Amino acid sequence: MKNVYLFSVNFKTGYGENSGYYLPYSVGTLWSYCTTSDIVTDNYNLKGLFYKRLNPKEYLKKLDNPSVVGFSAYLWNDQYNLKVIKLIKQKYPNCLIVVGGPSVPQKGFGTKTVESGRRIDKSSLQGKYKYADVLVHSEGEITFKQILETYINTNDFSDVKGLSFKKDGMVISTPPQLRVENLDSIPSPYTIGLFDDILKEEPNAKWSMVMETDRGCPYKCTFCDWGTLTYSKLKKFGRDRVYDEIEWVNKEKIDFVNIANANFGIYNQRDLAIADHMVKCKVEQGYPSAYQIAWAKNSNERILGISEKMNDVGLMRGLTLSFQSMNPETLKVIERSNMKIQKFEEIIEKCDEKNIPNYTEIILGLPLESLDTWKKGINDLLEAGQHTSMDLWFCEILEGAPLNDENLREVFGIKTKPIKNYITNNNPDDDPTPEIVELVYETNTMPFTDWLDAVLFNVIIINFHVLGWTQYVSRYLNKYYNVSYYKFYDELQKYIVENKELFLNYFYELHSTDIREVLETKDYSSRKDYDDINILGWYFYCRLQFVLHKNKTQVFQELQNFYKEQFGDVDKLELSEIVEFNKDLIVDFNNVGSIYKIYSKSYYNLYMNKEVINETTGYSFYPKETWTDFQDFAGKLVGRRKIGFGKNMVDKVPSSKLPFTDYEVMNENIRNKRTESRRVHIFN
């Protein structure tokens, strides 16, 4: 029997008692499909499924006369894999090393035609993957099974489609492989018990898993590798199989499930029924804690209905309302269409009514985007009501994405740099090999100086608006004084830049320096400036929240001066009150208790899409959850910001319960009586 080992490693998730791992689903499906072949099961023995980022040398100790070693490669393990592959090939030169996954080029790139349409590929297997023997292009189940069947007698894989391999000093690329027609021909690696031994290895771990209910993406967005990897035609796993896996989640007490569909909800009744089963199992057995879902593009009433059901039982991480860009010319180039802005407004309003968490994603650095269109796009999203959460991502050039084309790079003036540690968990238990992504920092419509300006504008939008520090004031001025969000935040950015003596200027220049250093050093590693706290690479900006929270009084004083300077036509008492109300909405990390205030107007009405009226109103403000120290506070600030950590909850105290009407801090009698209050989720 030949020994087979399969690697699908990932970063450790969480910390301390909440730490865990992802089950190695990608290679699990490869082997589960291989078990349908008597030729494979009669000749091969699966000796190991590896999922941890151990020191690569540790894995050498675990290998016993390996005949075939397979790797699944993507952004979170590509560079790590290369280290392990080199060590294995050096120690076991006759071992067949096979690599597949999105980081592998999705076709051979040879220049010389040979028989049967095969081509010589002088790139990956003689460069980046020079220590590997075979590269699998695109979907891998059929190809990997055929590799094993062929390798019993020969290492000439000329008759196996969908791969590149070394032969006589050359690299041969074969024609594309067919897709798996019937996805149910792939046994579930979960329900056949493939991961049972792994679960026993770490009985106290918080396990995460990947699940597919369908495979494929009908869209071909040029910045994304999803459609090119799985082709445009969607194929479905059988409903019974999906239900069995959902029940397996509860049986094995899996903490977190990532639904790997490109567009969950695209099948109306089917996906609703699947969601109903998820809800049923959660209610009856309590697992998982949440599902992470890539929702169908251009979300609609159907998607909203599914998300509402899941949210009601605590299964939602958030409803994705993605736009990627608001610039029509950019959308044409990236072959993307957005939902109509009016529809977006309606969905946001319904999410607010039903308290459904939601977030919008847009990408900086796409073709034909300019600094002006970028700022206007953010303004349009805010005007439409997206105040809960926005993720502003850098454009990455992915291996399998259509944008990864030399002609397109030249046409749009795309300039990139390979950046280390953009994707990392900074977990000391993980091997520190840095992963690398290719980030866009300039195009012919957004030169570097404009790109940097846009990055810093993002810093202001995320840290001040999305995370709450100026959100109430800007929304109030927008509604009652017709101040656009573009003007508000553009002026705030100018104010911060021009007044060098401000603490806010220090805050701003801190991130400006950080970004410049990232590009110069090509490393996104976080610093340890704040109580030795590490930040995830792509959440780098969150460390600026630590600066704000440790200097809350000074920050609000400087913001107050900005408001007075820019919005002098606003009544001073009114301005003072709305600033104070906004300040009370932000958690004070030195105080885990409640604060009580009376205001001359019903300010919370703004968040209920009602008019703010002259009505003396009392509120209590208090944190959504507590913390033990600043490190705990900082960790939750990063990890739970989308569900509102860092922003206070608010109870409205009915006016009939108020013993006085003046604007002042509530007296001790009211402080100790939170009677019959109605909870208002000012920030979700």
- The CATH number of the domain holding residue 104 is 3.40.50.2300
Is 442 a member of any domain?
A: no
Q: Name the token pair of 642.
A: 């989308």
Q: Which comes out higher in pLDDT, residue 17 or 79?
A: 79
Task: Calculate mean pLDDT across residues 368-376.
Answer: 96
| pLDDT higher than threshold 70 for residue 277 | yes
pLDDT band per the 50, 70, 90 thresholds, residue 534 = low
Distance CA 25, CA 35 (A): 15
Task: Calculate mean pLDDT across residues 345-373.
Answer: 90
Answer with the one of 173, 202, 231 that is the final residue of a domain.
173
pLDDT band per the 50, 70, 90 thresholds, residue 632 = confident
Of all residues in the chain, what percent carry a pLDDT higher than 70? 89
Answer with the one of 138, 154, 173 that is the final residue of a domain.
173
pLDDT band per the 50, 70, 90 thresholds, residue 526 = low
Q: Which comes out higher in pLDDT, residue 630 or 683?
A: 630
Mean pLDDT taken over the chain? 87
Distance CA 534, CA 606 (A): 37
From 34-43, 77-86, 404-413, 533-542, the region with the lowest mean pLDDT: 533-542
| pLDDT higher than threshold 50 for residue 42 | yes
Task: Calculate mean pLDDT across residues 315-319.
Answer: 84
Phi (first) and psi of residue 509, to 5 degrees: -70, -25
Task: Calculate mean pLDDT across residues 237-256.
Answer: 97
Tokens 């999906």 correspond to 242
Task: Calculate mean pLDDT across residues 5-26.
Answer: 91
Confidence (pLDDT) at 660: 46
Please name which of 409, 304, 401 lies closest in space to residue 346, comparing C-alpha atoms. 304
Answer with the one of 173, 196, 213 that is the final residue of a domain.
173
Measured CA to CA in angstroms, residue 558 lies from 43, 470, 561 at distances of 72, 12, 5
Contact 99, 134 (CB under 8 A): yes
| pLDDT higher than threshold 80 for residue 569 | yes
Please name which of 14, 35, 16, 22 lies closest in space to residue 72, comparing C-alpha atoms. 22
From 260-269, 436-445, 520-529, the region with the lowest mean pLDDT: 520-529
Distance CA 145, CA 385 (A): 50
Helix or strand run (H / E) with residue 440: strand 436-442
What b/e sequence results for 162-181 when a residue is b if at least 16 CB atoms lie within 10 Å of its CB, and e otherwise?
bbbbbeeebbbbbebbebbe
Q: Which comes out higher in pLDDT, residue 115 or 251?
A: 251
CB atoms within 10 A of CB 624: 16
Distance CA 675, CA 655 (A): 12
Is 458 a member of any domain?
A: no
Task: Calculate mean pLDDT across residues 377-382.
Answer: 95
Q: Is the peptide bond before 203 cis (omega within 30 degrees of 0)?
A: no
Measured CA to CA in angstroms, residue 5 lies from 44, 46, 47, 62, 148 at distances of 10, 6, 6, 10, 12
Measured CA to CA in angstroms, residue 380 lies from 327, 385, 388 at distances of 11, 9, 14
Task: Calculate mean pLDDT across residues 62-81.
Answer: 96
Confidence (pLDDT) at 547: 84
Please name which of 381, 358, 395, 588 lies closest in space to residue 465, comparing C-alpha atoms. 381
Q: pLDDT for 392-405, tens place per residue?
A: 889 999 988 889 98
Confidence (pLDDT) at 684: 31
Task: Calculate mean pLDDT across residues 649-675.
Answer: 52
Note down the domain range covering 654: 587-680
Could you write out the three-class secondary structure of 231-284?
Answer: CCCCEECCHHHHHHHHHHHHHCCCCEEEEEEEEECCCHHHHHHHHHHHHHHHHH
Number of structural domains, the chain?
2
Strand partners, 647: 586
Of all residues in the chain, what percent carry a pLDDT higher than 90? 60
State the angle between helix axes of 503-521 and 543-550 in degrees (0 to 180), rounded to the nearest 10.
Answer: 160
| pLDDT higher than threshold 70 for residue 680 | no
Q: Alpha helices, DSSP H only, in 533-642?
A: 543-550, 552-566, 572-585, 630-639
Question: Among 352-361, 397-406, 576-585, which range has the highest average pLDDT?
Answer: 576-585
Task: Calculate mean pLDDT across residues 70-95.
Answer: 97
Contact 55, 431 (CB under 8 A): yes
From 263-277, 419-433, 545-559, the region with the lowest mean pLDDT: 419-433
pLDDT band per the 50, 70, 90 thresholds, residue 581 = very high
Is 33 a member of any domain?
A: yes
Task: Calculate mean pLDDT across residues 511-526.
Answer: 86
Task: Calculate mean pLDDT across residues 561-583.
Answer: 92
Confidence (pLDDT) at 149: 98
Phi (first) and psi of residue 441, to 5 degrees: -125, 0
| pLDDT higher than threshold 80 for residue 62 | yes
Is 636 a member of any domain?
A: yes
Q: Which comes out higher in pLDDT, residue 599 or 609?
A: 599
Is 266 a member of any domain?
A: no
Is 381 a member of any domain?
A: no
Is 537 a member of any domain?
A: no
Tokens 């675990």 correspond to 62
From 164-168, 350-354, 557-561, 639-643, the region with the lowest mean pLDDT: 639-643
Q: pLDDT for 451-508, tens place per residue?
A: 999 999 998 999 999 999 999 999 999 999 999 999 999 999 999 999 999 999 988 8
Confidence (pLDDT) at 635: 78
pLDDT band per the 50, 70, 90 thresholds, residue 637 = confident
| pLDDT higher than threshold 90 for residue 245 | yes
Is 410 a member of any domain?
A: no
